[in-house]
């Protein structure tokens, strides 16, 4: 089987994509953890979200595409499957939180989305570390 070479540009792109995935997933987890508080406080401040609450569904689709892409590219490089053990349950949780009966913006929704987002962030961080370790060899 022919080994693919990874150019410095593609390594740099992968690192940037994993960093973006980590940051976005971590921010998603923070967003989901704070959303119940914001929903409770905004009416008291005279503010209305006007339908922006469901932005989490768009983020879940984005996070899925980014996670699957970066971990696939990373796996081809470092052949480590450990990051997938974080990504797959994380994706299952955020999909359940965004597209099932859990998408009701209650405490349970916030917990499921927060844990899922942290798992996604962990997967990107682990993939980044595995890629970095492989580059050092």
pLDDT digits (tens, 9 = 90+) for 19-77: 888 888 888 778 777 777 776 776 777 666 555 557 778 889 988 998 999 999 999 98
Q: DSSP assignment of 66-82, as one string?
A: HHHHHHHHHHHHH---T
Of all residues in the chain, the percent with pLDDT exceeding 90 is 38
The total of other beta-carbon atoms located within 10 Å of residue 94's CB is: 30
Alpha carbon of residue 54 to chain centroid? 16
* Alpha helix segments (H runs only) across 2-80: 8-41, 55-78
Cα–Cα distance, 69 to 127 (Å, whole number): 11
Q: What is the pTM for the complete model shown? A: 0.72
């Amino acid at each position: 089987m022919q080994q693919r070479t990874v150019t410095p540009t593609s390594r740099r792109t992968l690192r940037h994509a994993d960093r973006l995935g980590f940051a976005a997933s971590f921010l998603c987890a923070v967003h989901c953890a704070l959303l119940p508080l914001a929903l409770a406080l905004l009416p008291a401040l005279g503010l209305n979200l006007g339908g922006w609450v469901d932005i989490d569904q768009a983020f879940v689709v984005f996070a899925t595409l980014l996670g699957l892409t970066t971990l696939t590219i990373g796996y081809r490089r470092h052949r480590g499957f450990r990051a997938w053990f974080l990504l797959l349950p994380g994706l299952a949780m955020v999909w359940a939180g965004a597209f099932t009966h859990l998408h009701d913006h209650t405490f349970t929704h916030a917990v499921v989305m927060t844990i899922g987002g942290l798992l996604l962030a962990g997967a990107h961080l682990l993939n980044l570390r595995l890629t970095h370790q492989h580059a050092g060899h």
